[in-house]
Amino acid sequence: MRLYEYQSKLILAKYGIPIPRGRVTSTASEARQIADELGGKVVVKSQVLTSGRGKAGGILLAKNSRKAQQFVTQLLDMEIRGYPVRRVLVDEAVQIADAWYVAVCIDRKMRAPVLLASSLKNNSNGDEMEALLTLPINPLLGIKDYQIRDIAANIGLPEKFQKQFIKIVHGLWHAFFRMDATLIEIKPLVVTDDGRLLALDALMIVDDNASFRHPEFSEYWDLGLAPRPEVEARKHGLDYVKLKGEIGCMVNGAGLMMAVMDMIDQFGGQPANFLDVGGGAAPEKVAAGFRLLLSDDDVKAILVNIFGGLTSCDDVAEGILIALQERKLRVPIVVRMEGMKAGEARKKLEDAHLVLADTLMGAVQKTIAYSTGGWNGDLA
Amino acid sequence: MGILLNEESRIVVQGITGFQAGVQTWQMLDAGTRVVAGVTPGRGGEWVMDGKVPVFASVRMAVAATGADVSVIFVPSHFAQDAIFEAIDAGVKLIVCVTEGIPVHDMLQVRHYLDRQDVVLIGPNSPGVMTPGESYAGVIPANIAIKGGVGIVSRPGSLMYEVLNVLKRDGVGVSTCVGIGSDPVKCTGYVEILKLFENDPHTEKVVLLGEIGGIEEEEAAEYISEMTKPVIGYIAGKTAPVGRRMGHLGAIIEEDVGTAQGKIDALQRSGVQIARHPEEIPQLLTR
């Protein structure tokens, strides 16, 4: 889960990393008030979960609080790459003397956490990165001071900021480790002309799998912004992505789901969605997923393909029946089940007015034929 | 024979008193696997599976009493890291971790610790390992494969079942199949398994099943160029949109990294024949 800039920076502040003075708001009048508190000259930054907002005009420098109010009114009317701006961060404006990039993330190749650091050429928008240094971190030990001193020297950080920098990098690692983050990026870390080291902007991604030990994660999950079916799916622990086609599909396992999407495409159809019911799904969860397909008006035919290992086909059949009880059959449904309790499942579905297929290929081809051929209600 | 597991393998199931673990242990037993022990803290001394399998309070006790050398982990994600460390410290040689949803930081620590140990960890989020006709550890549907000379290594889980199913239908036998799991931080990747297949006298050809996201298939391609045995590949996710997460953490195309086409190109450059869909794999193997 990606966090907003203002959330990320507040977390960094908790771990001892200096951030600019400022506050988030959702109204222009409050923005003016915050600007007044900060001395008038401020940066107003739209809070959206996408990159490139600077280029899209989502970050503006306001000379005084009246301007700040005007800009925030504009920003709250904007949409950046499909994300409506609901909140704006009002930060003190600072003069940048020098800038760096510092991040901790997980390196897939080494399968280890790494510290990344670089100096940034272009101070104003912090885009141009010079040679990026990579330091693997022992997850059982953390980072040692000497390693940070090495990095500091290599990215050209002035001696006098070294102590502060060591504190910042330790804070970064602790935030990464204790918050179960998969990425924390400070871009840029700056020295201001009045000699302060500050994290001007930050991006943080946390691991959803660790939610059980972070009750605070639920506050970060911004339900207001994801499209509705995605939110509904997530509530039930389902992975759902709306796509452009006309064939609704439900499969167990992300890999198999994508293989089914590819086959639909190869044989002339278009998937309407990605829906992975996951391993070992209970009937209620399956029913919730199936309702998403039934209520999607783009869907002309539905394909269910389950190969049960951990998942019991029996439970999936049960779930489909629960969902079908509430809704009249609008489109043809092709079901193919194999593996754990597939026989029981097929038996359960016998009278449900569905098309049962034996093979994945057969199921895909049948569904495509139904979706294009103007289904007349017959079941073959 | 095959790799990792054979008829001599003695299996301990961690979390055996859980519902899913119970169902799956029955399947393993029915397939002739030697499940010699179960472990659930606080439940030592009980017998489960109709009195066939003793439960111990710790993996160490189970290993001491039964000589178990393989552990299958069904423990819920909150406690899975502890269970993995316990299995490593108890001295089993192979750990198959079925549990999904383990925090990535937990696995970073495990991976680091494991580097210094003489044990193979498959997973997490692994469907299991199966040497048909001999032994299997995990949740792969029983009776889904016949004995033969094709080694299979797969990141996706249920997609591997589909492939096993069509291979059986077309009479193609399997030496061992290994589901390495899709989590981004795992301890055994394609390359480690491909090396085992390359050196296994019972494996003649290898099937690699992959999906979008990450760089693991590309890493595998590098090693495959050195292999003597033919490799057939299939990659899922050609139609997946860029930047949208397709289910689990691993399956996302970030800008140009992790696309199906990129993986297919890399594999083809190493001489891998790519199947257009799963049902084409048997044809390519028998060609």
**Domain ranges (residues) in chain A:** 1-20+95-225, 21-93, 228-372
The average confidence (pLDDT) of chain A is 91
Separation in Å, CA of B179 to nearest CA in chain A: 12
For residue B277, the chain A residues in CB contact (below 8 A) are 259, 262-263, 266, 361
Q: Which of A255, A262, A310 sits opposite B156 (nearest CB)?
A: A255
For residue A257, the chain B residues in CB contact (below 8 A) are 246-247
Q: What pLDDT sits at residue A126? A: 46
pLDDT greater than 90 at residue A374: no
For residue B245, the chain A residues in CB contact (below 8 A) are 239, 241
Domain A1-20+95-225 has CATH 3.30.465.10: no
Q: Is A215 on the interface with B (CB under 8 A)?
A: no
Q: Is B144 on the interface with A (CB under 8 A)?
A: yes
pLDDT greater than 90 at residue B242: no
Asked whether the beta carbons of residue B20 and residue A280 sit closer than 8 angstroms, the reply is: yes
Sheet holding A22-25, edge to edge: A22-25, A87-92, A42-47, A59-62
For A326-378, give the DSSP string.
TS---S-EEEEEEETTHHHHHHHHTTTT-EE-SSHHHHHHHHHHHHHTT--S-
Place of tokens 């990579």: A134
For residue A136, the chain B residues in CB contact (below 8 A) are none
Q: What is the mean pLDDT of residues B41-50?
A: 96
Which ipTM did the prediction report? 0.94
- Give CA–CA dist A227/B246, Å, rounded: 15
Q: Which residues of B are marked as active site? A: 248
User: Tell me, what amino acid is at B188?
Assistant: T
The DSSP H or E segment spanning A165 is helix A162-178
Comma-separated ranges of CATH 3.40.50.720 domains in chain B: 1-125
For B223-279, give the DSSP string.
HHTT-SS-EEEEEE-TTPPTT---SSTT---BTTBT-HHHHHHHHHHTTPEEPSSGG
Q: What is the mean pLDDT of residues A294-299?
A: 93
Q: Which of B141, B240, B251 sits opposite A309 (nearest CB)?
A: B141
Write down the CATH number for the domain with range A228-372.
3.40.50.261
The pTM of the full predicted model, rounded to 2 decimals, is 0.91
Fold of A21-93: Dna Ligase; domain 1 (3.30.1490)
Task: Provide the pLDDT confidence category of residue B244 given band limits of 50, 70 and 90.
Answer: confident
| pLDDT per position as a tens digit, A244-281 | 999 999 999 999 999 999 999 999 999 999 999 988 88
Q: What pLDDT sits at residue B199? A: 97
For residue B248, the chain A residues in CB contact (below 8 A) are 239, 254, 276
Q: What pLDDT sits at residue A65? A: 95
Q: Is B2 on the interface with A (CB under 8 A)?
A: no
Q: What pLDDT sits at residue B263? A: 96
At the second CATH level, the architecture of B144-287 is 3-Layer(aba) Sandwich (3.40)
The average confidence (pLDDT) of chain B is 94
Separation in Å, CA of B128 to nearest CA in chain A: 10
Q: What pLDDT sits at residue A225? A: 61
Q: Is B52 on the interface with A (CB under 8 A)?
A: no
Mutating which of B28, B82, B158, B168 best tests the A interface, going by the most A Cβ atoms within 10 A? B158
- Give CA–CA dist A211/B91, Å, rounded: 31
Q: What pLDDT sits at residue A279? A: 80
Comma-separated ranges of CATH 3.40.50.261 domains in chain B: 144-287
Mutating which of A274, A315, A337 best tests the B interface, going by the most B Cβ atoms within 10 A? A274
What is the phi/psi pair of residue A219, to 5°?
A: -70, -25
pLDDT greater than 60 at residue A118: yes
Q: Is A318 on the interface with B (CB under 8 A)?
A: no
For residue A339, the chain B residues in CB contact (below 8 A) are 141, 144, 158, 161
The candidate with the shortest Cα–Cα distance to A171, out of A134, A199, A207, A140, is A199
Place of tokens 């999906």: B211
Q: What pLDDT sits at residue A376? A: 59
In total, chain B counts a number of residues equal to 287
Q: What is the mean pLDDT of residues B215-229?
A: 96
Q: Is B119 on the interface with A (CB under 8 A)?
A: no
Q: Which residues of A are marked as active site? A: 101, 185
The DSSP H or E segment spanning B145 is none
Asked whether the beta carbons of residue B157 and residue A279 sit closer than 8 angstroms, the reply is: yes
The candidate with the shortest Cα–Cα distance to B85, out of B66, B107, B101, is B107
Question: Is the Cα dihedral B27, A337, B209, A278 positive or negative?
Answer: negative
For residue A252, the chain B residues in CB contact (below 8 A) are 158
Q: What pLDDT sits at residue A112? A: 92
Q: Which of A209, A257, A339 sits opposite B77 (nearest CB)?
A: A209
Candidate CATH numbers 3.90.1410.10, 3.30.70.270, 3.40.50.720, 3.40.50.620; the one for domain B1-125: 3.40.50.720
For residue B249, the chain A residues in CB contact (below 8 A) are 207-209
Q: What is the mean pLDDT of residues B37-47?
A: 97
Asked whether the beta carbons of residue A310 and residue B98 sit closer than 8 angstroms, the reply is: yes
Separation in Å, CA of A207 to nearest CA in chain B: 7
Q: Is B155 on the interface with A (CB under 8 A)?
A: yes
Q: What pLDDT sits at residue A222? A: 67
Q: What pLDDT sits at residue B140? A: 94
3 state DSSP class of B47: strand
Q: Are A316 and A343 in contact (CB under 8 A)?
A: no
For residue A276, the chain B residues in CB contact (below 8 A) are 246-248
| pLDDT per position as a tens digit, A11-65 | 999 999 999 999 999 999 999 999 999 999 999 999 988 888 888 899 999 999 9
Q: What pLDDT sits at residue A64? A: 96
Q: What pLDDT sits at residue B103? A: 95
pLDDT greater than 50 at residue A365: yes
Enumerate residues 193 to 222 of chain B having a beta carbon within 8 A of any beta carbon in chain A.
209, 211-212, 214-216, 219
* A256-265, A284-293, B46-55, B238-247: segment of lowest average pLDDT: B238-247
Enumerate residues 71 to 100 of chain B having a beta carbon within 8 A of any beta carbon in chain A.
77-78, 98, 100
pLDDT greater than 50 at residue B211: yes
Cis link prior to A188 (omega < 30° from 0)?
yes
Q: What pLDDT sits at residue A327? A: 81
Q: Are B190 and B215 in contact (CB under 8 A)?
A: no
| pLDDT per position as a tens digit, B57-90 | 999 999 999 999 999 999 999 999 999 999 999 9
Sequence-separated (6 or more) residues with CB below 8 Å from residue B137: B5, B9, B11, B28, B33, B70, B72, B94, B96, B128, B129, B130
pLDDT greater than 80 at residue A105: yes
Asked whether the beta carbons of residue A106 and residue B108 sit closer than 8 angstroms, the reply is: yes
Task: Provide the pLDDT confidence category of residue A380 given band limits of 50, 70 and 90.
Answer: very low
Enumerate residues 228 to 257 of chain B having a beta carbon within 8 A of any beta carbon in chain A.
234, 236-241, 244-249, 251
| pLDDT per position as a tens digit, B86-125 | 999 999 999 999 999 999 999 999 999 998 889 999 999 9
Q: What pLDDT sits at residue A123? A: 46
pLDDT greater than 80 at residue B255: no
Mutating which of A307, A312, A338, A359 best tests the B interface, going by the most B Cβ atoms within 10 A? A307
